Structure formats: C-alpha cells, structure tokens
Structure 1
C-alpha cells in the first residue's frame, strides 16, 4: 500500500509538467492563439488609450485651472464668510483671497478707469504671474503697485511714479507682463492694476454699496474640493468657478472629456466583439478534440484543468505582451503631440494598468466562459458524427452579468453614456432587420447565376445573416462615429477662435469720435467689425409681469436678471447671427437671443419692458436669434430697432484684429483717443489657441486609434466568416461546382454584404452622430454626404483584402 502511495506521489509531479507542456502546445499549435492575440490587443489598446486619456485630461484640467489661477474659485458679491474659510482650512486646502473693484486711477497728468485686484503674497495658486520691474517677480508684495502695460501710456507714467487709487498714493513698481486670470467678457474688462491685500484699506475704495467682488482661491485634492462645495449653500450673488465653468474653455474641456470617454467605450466594445468572435471560432475548431478526449475517458473536471492552464498561460502572456505593446503604442501616440504637450508630462499612474487588465478580465470571463462551457459539454459522439447542437447549461449566461454590473458601477448616473449604449443596442437590431429586408428585395431581381447563388446563400439562414450583417455594419458604423465626432468637434472649436477672430475691443467711443475712429482703422487696413451703439440697462417685465416680484428668498434668478445687460440697435441682422424665428423688424421691435428666450420663456409677440437710466420703455419680440458667444465678436442678448432707443445716450463699440506687425497702432490709438477703453485680448487668444491645439491633436490621435480598432474588428469578422465557409466550399466542389463558379459566388456574396453594410453603416453613423451632437454635446447637427461613398468603398476594400488573402487557401483542397 505504501509502495502504491509512493508511486502516485511520484506520478503526480510528472503528470503536472506533462499537462502544463500539453497546455502550452495546445495554446500555440491549436486554435487558441487568435484569442491570445485578441486579448493582447484589448489590453494594449485600452492601456494606450486610457494612459493617453489620463494624461490629456490632466493637461486639459491643468490648463483650465491655470486660467482661473487655482483648482477652484469661490466668487461672491459680499465679503467672504468665516465658516467658508474655516471649512477650507479644516479640509487642509491651500487658500488665497482677492478683492477686486473698478475705480479711477489718477496720475499727475491723466486719469483712467481701471480694475483693481487686491491679492495676497501667495497669489496665484496656479499659473504664472510675471511682473517686470527692476527684475522679474512672480508675487505681489505689500506697498507695491503693478500696472497693465497699456496703463503706462494711458496714464503717462513710468516706474517709480505715484498713482492715486482712492485715498492711497502708491508707487508704480513695474508692469504686469503675464497674468493667469483672463476674462472672456469684453464688456467687463478694464486695464488691470495689482496691489497687495494689506494696502486695500488705505484706498478706502470699498464702502457699503460699492460694486466689489470677493474671491477665494483653493488648491487641494479633488475629493476635498467637492466636500467644500457640498458644505456651502450658495446665496444670491455667489457661485463656484472651476475649469469646466469658464466659458469657451470650460465648454471645450467638458466636450473633450465626453469624447475621450466615448472613444474609450467604443474601443472596448469593438475589442470585445473581436475577442468574442475569436473565442467562438476556437470553440468550433476544438469540438472534435474535446470529444476525442471524452471518448478516451477524460472527465469534465480534467478538461477544465486542461483549459484552465491554457487560459492562465494565455492571460499571463496577453497581459505582459499587451502592457508592453500598450506602453510603446502610448509613446508613439504622444509623438505627434510632442510640440504642444507640457514638459514634464503628467504621470498616468497605475490607473491604465488597472483599467486595461480589469477590462480584459471582465470581457474574457463571459467571452471565453460561455463558449468554453459549450465546448466542455460537447458529446463524445462528435468524434464520429458532427453535432450541430447539444444541450448546454444556461447558467453560464449569467457570466454576462459581470461586465454589466461593472458598467453600472463605472457609468453610474452618466445619462450620456447610457443613452449612447441603449441607442447603439437598438440601432443594432434595426440594422439587422434592414439588412434582411434589403436581401429579400434583391432576391426578387434578375441576376446572374453567381449573384443568384450568393443571394441564396445569404438568405438561407436569416438569423446568422442578420447577425453577420449587424456585426459588420455596427463595426463600420462605430469607427465612422468616432471619426465624425472628432471632425465635428474640431470644426466647432475652430469657430471658437477662427484665424481672423478679433483680438481687440474698443469701448466707450463717444458719438463724436466714432466715425473718426473707424476711419483710422480703415486707413491702417485693420480688419474690423461694424460699429455698435451700446447702452446698459435691465429687463424688468415680460407681458407686464414683474420678473423680480415673484422671486422667493434664496431662489436663484437667471444670471441675465441679476445684472445690467448691454443693449444695441441696428437696421439689419448681424452677419454672425442666425435668425431662428420671426422676421427682422424696422419699428418698435426687439430681437432676442435664443438662449435667454428659452430660459425666460420669451416667445414671438411678447411685450418686454426694459429700464435704462431709470427710464422704462417697451418693445415687442419680433425675432429669435442664434448667437455663437465664443466667436470673439460683439454679441448681445437684445437688439432693438433704432426707433426704440435712438434718443437714449450711448457710446459705441467696435472689435478688430491687430496682427503682430501692428503693435505700434494700439499705442497710437491709446494716445489719440485717451477716453476710449481698449481691451487687448491677444494674450488670451494665444492661450486659447494653445489649449485648442493640444486638445485637437490629442483627439485626432485618439480617433485614429479608435478607427484602427474598428478596422481590426471588421477584418476579424470577415476572416472568421470565410473560415467557416471551408466545409461548405468542399461540398459545392463535390456536387460539381467549378472553382470559377465558387470564387464568383464568394466574391458576389461578400461584395453584396459589404455594400449593404457600408450603406447601412453610413445611415447609422449619421443617426448616432446627429443624436450625440444634439443631445450629448449640444452642437448643431451637420450632414456628411461623403460618408455615403466612403463607407461602402472602405467596406468593399476590406472585403477585397480578406478574400484575396484567403481564397487560394480555401480553394486549395479542391485541386487534383
């Protein structure tokens, strides 16, 4: 007995290496290596994409936060309350405070309206403040006064001169060369003056009733910042400012984030489909081998051990290869961005490794598990008689819950993602039915023998054909969606700051100076807008209903009702506005911007009452306009007909573009027209252009990766489909079909499927992109006529590549 036990102990160690060796051989000499390749590609693509997404998102967030000088900003019309500051301190956040107000600055010779910012020695928390005096400085110290460059000529001062701000006389320390905070509202901009917080009281400019803005800047971990926001109940006149709320850059960053997330999801979906297809193909090729092992006495337990070793080796190899290839791929993806990415790059951390391996595991468990359960249940009789179907335990389908539950946790309440996935699922079923319908209609036509046989082959199994068409169509559609969204987003962002966008605004031009000022610009061949009369006022009533009377305490009124607005009047519609409803009127009318009309419920024919300098007047809504606020042109909520406001005192506004060789013109205009407020936005425009370039190139690279994943899926689908035709081709040959007839049938079948799939993919992509643009990204819907030609051609091209690479091998057994 003891000898037998010893023999078993000796045999077991020998059995294990033998099984491991057999598993290794099966992995590479069997049909499991395509699964290993698919899993490797999933890990590589997800790693590269998620690593680049992490880096790009960090860069975009960093750029956005640089524009607000902190990670988070609290803005209030009232002094900052101690509980807010105490809460921030308790959370361990870095903090800085600022007080800003508009006032007059006086030198010995001139005076100028300026925006005074009283800051601490720790300002800014993000970005770079460059002050040039005796040397270069980056912080404001007590007793110092720093001026925007234009103020030196406007106030006729130099470094060391005295300037009076309120009750305080301060010495000019130098000029502000670079400031992190930039405002995108030209109407609210004035030349900046920086002083220290300790000098604020000396000015005496902050009095009860003064128009003052108080700000607190915070830096710290995102979770702590969220806790601070949740702990503060906002009052009227208060708001939080983050990188996603800063106008044009905020919109751009938020939409880029949505695109990055969507691209990652679509790549995962396409890589998953590639893996599932290869798994099912592996199962179909190993049925006879498993049946033979069962006929020789192998148990299900032994088979699972045999498969488990293969899968463990497979996943380990795929993980090492995938992470290595993914790292190299991410490095290559960054090469086109090397000129615009910051140095050093933000760390991607462990997240890409975790995400890629987790996604691969969650996809592999159901993708491999369900097909392998079917394989292990294959009957032993399959050795001598091929079995089409056999009883399979349905409990294995529960494995699908793993990725579903993971998606529920990952997406959470992200309606954008859920609507996208639900729409894609619904569209997949519709495309399958449409494909079958098209095939049925084609069968009614008169065709040659090869096409007739191809159509018969396609329609023989409606379920399989529908699935095949849906898979091919959805693959083409997804790669088209990724590219089209990238194209449309970039086209929209180009409108944010086009090459000829104005970069200087001239305000407060008196009526007497207006024509002379415009003539001066024209003489210097400056590209400019039309002149606009501007007057400030408030909207107070809609159809005799007081807009302020019904507001309860603590209720947040629309932003347009909390402040004075800029009004103008014109005879014609501005060329950069689009008329949505109504007609342009020439008397007693007002045209309303579509956004404020929607928020306040304003409709055509409504009577609006306004107040300008305590003078009320009314006008009827005659049109609704679409306004692109990001194009750096003069835009207005309300544009009146001239007869409504022509008698009211107004100043004029014009915007224009100054090129690099026209810098002297700005200074000359400042000297010739000292009462005109010049807002030089060139620095801001340069910074926005830099962000736009970074994001645009990043999205282009990500789109290429997404499209590549889609092409891989299409190629895999076609290759596996042709591989499954091998037995059928042998049968055709046995029945007397010539190689020429079989080849023509294969070309006809897959050519028809490619054309049908290409056309349906174009229709599906247009539908998906239109829905995402309208409800996801809130952008205008754009048609893509070229897509209806490109996708069918691409589909046919891929079919040609696959058939040419496989047709000889498929016909090889027919020789002789």
Structure 2
C-alpha cells in the first residue's frame, strides 16, 4: 500500500510551476469560476454602493452644514466663555462668533422690529452669504456696514446710502441681503434680518442686562476634533449644540437618509453573501469526484489545501481587479440620473469604498467558501466508485462563521436599526420555512392533476431541503421588497417635509382691525392660503393643579416647551391638516393637545391644565389629542382651545399662504399696504429644502434599484442552481418511463408552486419587516402596501418562467434519442 501511494503521488504535479498551471486550468475549466463571478459581483456592488453612499452622505452633510453656516454651532443665552473658544482654537478648529438680538430699526419715515445679527468678518464658515449693492457683490460683512433684508427697504422706505438707526447706532445702509446661509423653520421666531459687524455691536447699546440676546459660536474642523470639543463642555440651562442632524427638518431628513443608506448596504451584502454561499456549495458538489480521485492517487490534505489555496488566491485577485473595475463603472452609471442634482466638483470617495468592498468580500468568503472547502477536503476517497451523500464537517469549520459575526459586532456596535433588522430576518427565515411547509402539506390534500401531484410529492419528500429552499427564495424576494418599500415610505414621508403646494409666506401680528381686510386682499389676488388663526402667547403652569415649575425643579418634567412661552389659538373646528387620535372636538370649556407634548408631559383626556397669559391664569379640560405634522409649513399649535376659554384675551392673527413665481410683486405690495403686519418670506428656504430633497430622493431611488438588482441576481442564482441539481433526478424519471412532456409539466408545476408560495410569504414578510423598521427604526407612520401582495408573487413567477425557459431544453437534452 505504501509503495502504491508513493508511486501514485508521482502522477500529481509536484513542481510549483506545474501546480500553478494546473490550478489555473482548474480555475477556468472546473466549476470554480461561478465563485469568482459571485465574488466579483460582491466587490463590484459593494464598491459602487459604498462609493455612492460616501458621495451622497458628504453632499447631504455639506448641505446640512451650509444651513447652519458651520460644521458645529454652540448656542447660549449668555456670552460664551473665552475658555471654550480658546480650547477650540487650541484643537485646530476655525472659530467665528455671532450675537443676535431683536430690536427696533428706525429710518426717517418708518420703524420696524428686526432681528439683528452682529457677525465677524469670516462669517459664514460654511454656505454662502450674498450681499449686493447695485452691481457689486460681496460675501462678508465689514465694520461700519449695515445690510438689510429685501423687505425692509419697503417697510422702512429707505435706499442704499440712507441712514438707519439700530439701537443707539446710526449706520448707512450698505445694500441688500440676497442670500444668507442660516434659515429658521419657526415662523413665530422670524423677523426681517439686518446684518452688522461685531465691531459695531457696542455702538448699538442693545446688549444690556435683561435683554433677550442669543450668542453663537461657529466651529469648522475635523469631525473627531468637533466631537472632542463637545465632550469637553458641560451644557448649562439654555445652551445647546446645533449640527446638521439636529437642525429641524433637514436634520431628520439627513439622519433617516443615512439610516437607509447603511441599511441598503447591509441588505446588499447579505444577498451577495447568499449568492456566494450557493455558488460555493454548487462548486463543492461538482468537485467531490475530482478530490476523491486525487486522494485515491495518494494526495494528502496538505497537498489538497495547497492546490485549493492557490486557486483561491488567483480567484480573489481576479475577482478584486474585475470587481473594482465593475464597481467603478457601475458607480458612474448610478450617478448619471443624479448629474443635474450633484454638485460640481463631486466630493471624493477616498479609500473607504476600496477597503470596504475588498474587506466585505474577504469576510464573507472566509466562512462561505471555507466551510464548503473543509467539507470538500474531507470527502472520502471511496466517492470515486460509490457516491457519498453525507459526511460531517468538523466542528472547527463552523468557527469560521465567527469572523464576519465578530466584525459585524464591532462595525454595528449599538446601531439598533441594524440589529433589529438582522434579528428580524433571522426569526423570519425560520417562520417562513415552517409556514411554507405547512402550505405545501395543505396543498397535498387537494385533488390535482398528475404533474401537480408529482410536483407536490417532490416538494414534500424532503421537508428540511424544501424548507431551506423556500426560506432562501422567500428571503431573497423579501429583502428586495424591503429595500424598495422603505425607499417608497421614506420618499412619501419626505413629501410631507415640503409639499408642492406648501405655504411659503407667513403673515404675523395682524391686528384684529386689519384681519378681514388682509384676508380679503389675499382672496382678491387668488392667493392659496390657510385659515387665519388668532395667536396669544402664554405658558403652561400646572397639570391637574400640580405646579409645573415644581415638577421641573424635581426633575419629573424637562420638556423644552416648559422653558418658553407657547403660541395658543382657539377654533370652533379642528384644523383640516390635523388628525384626531383620541377624544372628541368640543365647543366649550376644552383644550385639544398635540400628541407629542401630551406623551412627553403625561397629559391625557380629562386632565385639567392651567395656563397663564399676561399674568391672567385660566384652566381648561383636555377633550382631545391631535396628531400634528409639523413639517407641512402650515400654522400648527401645541394647544388649541375652544373659543369660550380665550376669545376675550387680546390677540393678533396669523395666516400662511403660497406665492407663485408670477406673484412675486404681491409680497412687497402687501408689505407697503399693511406696514404693521410682519411678513416672513420663506421662499428661499423652500427652494433650498426642495433642492436637498431632490438630491436625496434621486440618490435613494438609485440605491434602491441597485439593491433590488442584487436581490434579483440572488433569486436567479438560486433557481439556476436548484434546476442544475435536478439533472440526475430527471434522468431517473425518464428511465422509469416518464415522457418529456410529463417531466416538463412536473418541473413547471413544482417551481411554479414554490414561486407562488415564496411570493406570498415574501410579501407578508416584507410588510412585517418594513412595519417594524418604520415604527421603531425610522419612526414614521405605518403604511399598508396592497400592491405588494400582487407584484411580488408575479415577480417570483416571472423569474421562474425566465429561468425554466432558458434551462428546460438543456435539462431534457440528455433524454433525447
């Protein structure tokens, strides 16, 4: 036996050059090339997706930071400590300061309440400030200059060069503010803006003890330095940090887009990994006889590992080059739909996509390929003459699974959304497999034709294999449905951020005497408007006669709404853009509460709330809870009272309306005709938000398309490999006398049934996963997707038809003659 082994070993290539040539030939003429293709697709898809994610995220972050004029903003009601500014400069951050305050602006003819901003010469650190005087344009404020918002020229009846008093300072008007980066989304806190230089602040005399002044520090620098600065400062009451993710609507939009980008990348990696595992399992099944033959010729495991490792190294090298090239071209194609929305020049991608794509491919290949190859190397030599179906994989092989798992733990960390998704998918795989088997068992009880009975018998013969196949097919369809549904739900929600017909001008401080005349003028010009609302400012002072201030001091309540005056209104009917969640809309003695503040303060139906307006206390009973969409740019309120509670209090009126492009002159006309009314023109802000929405929406649509494509590739791979494994069984059917027509009908019936079951379960699973993600991950309202239950089963059947039609002749070819 020893002599025979030594003699046999001489037939195996021993020299490195011969072994390398054999590995190369085996790579392309064997069955390992599908694994190379799978790795290429993983690297290509992950590179393209991660590159686009990097670019889109940089664009969104840049847009968001442009909206706050810096990378990070520190806001305080008190002068900012010099130690904070010095600490930032020591860390290499660029620092700029701003002081803003409300004051009266006086010209020779008029006066107007304005929001004055005293800025330094380097303001803004992000975004663009456009100041215009005649044909001259500049982008910073210089000492001695005064710049006015467009509307102030008509309200104050001034021109450039005229003198306007800001507090005690008399300054010449330098020109118009065409664009400023900082835009607020709260119409109640908006006043026409004026810009002066910080050197002129003391001349105004506006900053006095007791004055309502806000101090801001702007920082620009590396993210890690910004985080370090934040960690080193303990916030005092009234202080807060402002970043691109905390800036109202755009902050929510950017954060949710980031979540979707990360989730899509993970789902694509999961589907690409499944594709790799399937192709590797197929390779293992086709090379068992080859390995058994080499073992019978004396090849040991060490030699087999050298043989396989050379193939794997060549395979990974080829896949890396091909995958990165494919990913580069694919990323370019993905950007084509976004060419009008992306900035020029594009932000760079750095080395992250290269590293991530190769690392992901390596991590998923270690267990995906390694476990299969361990089983292949352990194949018994007797398989040459007698096929062996099962032999155990040594337990150490499954340790390879820890490699990507530990990496995922390190990568995801405390990302609740990711773990929620992965855990839900794992549970659903088991549940879907069980339901699939139950459904098959139920079908087998019916009376069907011969082909369907044979197909059901084939499906039910091996419950474990059928369950695994159904779970794999269902999960593939489900993942691509999840990617597309999340994209659809996000875009639908973002339409609420700024609808096409959203108001873009607010009129505040309308006196009761002018309210009817102002509304009449809007209607005469056919302006689309909201209802008009009376507005009174006041505070919530007690809940069920328990003092709010005492609860704040004890730490029971700490909501932002308790620290400031709120805007109250009253109506006989509920606003059409609010949704009644609990209770009823009463006409007397009641107050309706917005659901968010009700949850935060523990307010429920029947509670007695006490308020204070101009030192006048009054109480009302909670009669209803409303859901309010704060992003629709309509007048919205925390508390809406019945008219009998507040109608006697002095109030001003508010109305919002939409000005179209052809009505631009109307805004200035209204300003001249009603000089005491405060007009908030939000059209520039609306255009900027719509620009961000367009970029993000297009980007997510492209990313979703790529994710769906990866899912389709997985489904096609799964079906092709499943059909390829049927060849031997079909030969047996033919030997037993089955006709080609009967075999063809059986194949069509088997895979048609499985496709239908998988499609229905995938639709149910996708609804469940999306509902969980929307509810607890993205915090969006739940939506039902009835079209999904039709589209996914039809898509599943269509894919089956495509695969079977392309392979049925090949499967039946050996049976001819």
* TM-score grouping bracket, smaller chain normalisation: over 0.9
Take 1:554 and 1:538, find their aligned partners in 2: how far apart are those partners? 19
Take 2:812 and 2:575, find their aligned partners in 1: how far apart are those partners? 68
Contact conserved, 2:539 with 2:562, CA < 8 A, in 1?
Answer: yes
* C-alpha RMSD of the superposition: 1.2
- SS of aligned partner of 1:96: strand
Contact conserved, 1:64 with 1:250, CA < 8 A, in 2?
Answer: yes
Corresponding position of 1:682:
683
Corresponding position of 1:565:
566
Which stretch shifts more, 658-667 or 549-558?
A: 549-558
Take 2:768 and 2:473, find their aligned partners in 1: how far apart are those partners? 17
Corresponding position of 2:7:
none
Cα deviation code 1:158-186 (max 9, x no counterpart):
00111111111111010101100000000
Contact conserved, 2:416 with 2:777, CA < 8 A, in 1?
Answer: no
Cα distance, 1:82 vs structure 2: 2.0
Cα deviation code 1:449-484 (max 9, x no counterpart):
110000000010000000000000000000000000
Take 2:19 and 2:657, find their aligned partners in 1: how far apart are those partners? 78
Corresponding position of 1:8:
none
Corresponding position of 1:524:
525
Cα deviation code 1:71-103 (max 9, x no counterpart):
000001111012211221121110000000101
Cα distance, 1:391 vs structure 2: 3.6
Cα deviation code 1:14-51 (max 9, x no counterpart):
81111111101111110000000000000000000000
Matched, 1:364 2:365: yes
Take 1:409 and 1:392, find their aligned partners in 2: how far apart are those partners? 28
Corresponding position of 1:448:
449
Consecutive unaligned residues in structure 1, runs of 5 or more: 1-10
Contact conserved, 1:75 with 1:213, CA < 8 A, in 2?
Answer: yes
Corresponding position of 2:70:
70
Corresponding position of 2:60:
60
Corresponding position of 1:114:
114
Take 1:790 and 1:551, find their aligned partners in 2: how far apart are those partners? 53
Contact conserved, 1:236 with 1:555, CA < 8 A, in 2?
Answer: no
Contact conserved, 2:324 with 2:354, CA < 8 A, in 1?
Answer: yes
Contact conserved, 1:236 with 1:554, CA < 8 A, in 2?
Answer: no
Corresponding position of 2:33:
33
Contact conserved, 1:73 with 1:241, CA < 8 A, in 2?
Answer: yes
Take 1:649 and 1:523, find their aligned partners in 2: how far apart are those partners? 28
Corresponding position of 1:151:
152
User: Judging changes above 3 Å, is the alpha-carbon distance between structure 1 residues 427 and 81 closer, same or farther for their aligned structure 2 residues?
Assistant: same
TM-score, normalised by the number of residues in structure 1: 0.98
Cα deviation code 1:320-375 (max 9, x no counterpart):
00000000000000010000100001100000000000000000011000000000
Matched, 1:335 2:331: no
Consecutive unaligned residues in structure 2, runs of 5 or more: 1-10
1:382-461 alignment, distance < 5 Å: 382-461=383-462
Matched, 1:301 2:302: yes
Take 1:298 and 1:670, find their aligned partners in 2: how far apart are those partners? 93
Cα deviation code 1:585-612 (max 9, x no counterpart):
1011000000000000000000000010
Contact conserved, 1:588 with 1:643, CA < 8 A, in 2?
Answer: yes
Take 2:51 and 2:322, find their aligned partners in 1: how far apart are those partners? 16
Cα distance, 1:557 vs structure 2: 2.5
Contact conserved, 1:536 with 1:566, CA < 8 A, in 2?
Answer: yes
Cα distance, 1:419 vs structure 2: 1.0
- SS of aligned partner of 1:551: helix
- SS of aligned partner of 2:459: helix
Take 2:84 and 2:547, find their aligned partners in 1: how far apart are those partners? 34
Cα distance, 1:13 vs structure 2: 11
Cα deviation code 1:475-511 (max 9, x no counterpart):
0000000000001100111111111100000000011
Cα distance, 1:107 vs structure 2: 0.2
Contact conserved, 2:557 with 2:601, CA < 8 A, in 1?
Answer: no
Corresponding position of 2:312:
311
Corresponding position of 2:20:
20
Take 2:393 and 2:518, find their aligned partners in 1: how far apart are those partners? 85
Cα deviation code 1:742-772 (max 9, x no counterpart):
1111100000000000000000001111111
Cα distance, 1:550 vs structure 2: 3.3
Contact conserved, 2:13 with 2:19, CA < 8 A, in 1?
Answer: no
Cα distance, 1:273 vs structure 2: 0.1
- SS of aligned partner of 2:259: helix
Cα distance, 1:782 vs structure 2: 0.6
Take 1:136 and 1:444, find their aligned partners in 2: how far apart are those partners? 82
Take 2:210 and 2:141, find their aligned partners in 1: how far apart are those partners? 28
Aligned length in residues: 806
User: Judging changes above 3 Å, is the alpha-carbon distance between structure 1 residues 14 and 455 closer, same or farther for their aligned structure 2 residues?
Assistant: closer
Take 2:82 and 2:548, find their aligned partners in 1: how far apart are those partners? 33
Corresponding position of 1:761:
762
Contact conserved, 2:147 with 2:173, CA < 8 A, in 1?
Answer: yes
- SS of aligned partner of 2:649: coil
Take 1:626 and 1:245, find their aligned partners in 2: how far apart are those partners? 22
1:351-750 alignment, distance < 5 Å: 351-552=352-553, 557-750=558-751
User: Judging changes above 3 Å, is the alpha-carbon distance between structure 1 residues 554 and 85 closer, same or farther for their aligned structure 2 residues?
Assistant: farther
Q: Any runs of at least 4 consecutive aligned residues in structure 1 with deviations exceeding 2 A, and if so which?
A: 11-14, 550-557
Cα distance, 1:551 vs structure 2: 2.9
- SS of aligned partner of 2:170: strand
Take 2:750 and 2:394, find their aligned partners in 1: how far apart are those partners? 35
Matched, 1:87 2:87: yes
Which stretch shifts more, 82-91 or 478-487?
A: 82-91
TM-score, normalised by the number of residues in structure 2: 0.98
